[in-house]
Structure formats: C-alpha cells, structure tokens
Amino acid sequence: MANEHVQEFTDDNFEQEVLQADQPVLVDFWAEWCMPCKMLAPTIDEVAGAFSGKAKVGKVDTDSNRNVSMKYGINAIPTVLLFKGGEVTKKFVGLTNRNDLEAAINEAIA
C-alpha cells in the first residue's frame, strides 16, 4: 500500500473490516496489471488521508481476492464501492475524480 491510511481488504477480513465497520468504507477494487487502477491510486491515497478517522479507505486486489470481487459483481476495474452499515451506497466504475469520491463520503458521514 502506498499510504498508511489505505488498508488492504481481503476475502478473509472483508466481513469484519468493511461490512461490520461503524463508519463509511470506501473500497477500491483493483489489480496490479490495470493501468487505470494505477492512475486512480494517488486519488485513493489523497481521499484516505483527507478522511482519516472519519471513514475507512482500502483496496481489494481482485486477482488475489476473487470471492469478494465476485460477490459484488466486479467485472470492470477500477471499481470503487462505498459501504455504509454493511450495504453498498455508491458505485463508481472507471477513473473517478477526488471530488466525486469525497462528496459521496461526506454524504455517507452526514
């Protein structure tokens, strides 16, 4: 992970870290070989820093964590899902700008 504020979510910890979280969780589904995913990474890092303590931000490597990826129907990456109370409240597919991600998190926090 490029940033201490960005967590790594896996098939094993997704339930506890994302679905049972007591704050909104932004999850970036990505893969090492995906160029748009690499282009989105700095934005995810910035959002994670901006919302430290208010929302969790993390990544799921779709190659290593197929169960979670299949459960949420991830068929294009990058895909960013925002969870609140264990439910998906927003979905972004493809490159997404920081303003849109931050607006979604602010809405979830409110």
3-state percent breakdown (helix, strand, coil) of the chain, nearest 5? 35, 25, 40
Bridge partners (DSSP) listed for residue 90:
82
Q: Is 34 a catalytic residue?
A: yes
Of the listed 6, 18, 25, 37, which one is catalytic?
37
Of the listed 34, 50, 89, 98, which one is catalytic?
34
Amino acid occupying residue 103 = A
Which residues contact residue 66 at a Cβ distance below 8 angstroms, ignoring those fewer than 6 apart?
11
Q: Is 40 a catalytic residue?
A: no
The set of catalytic residues is: 34, 37
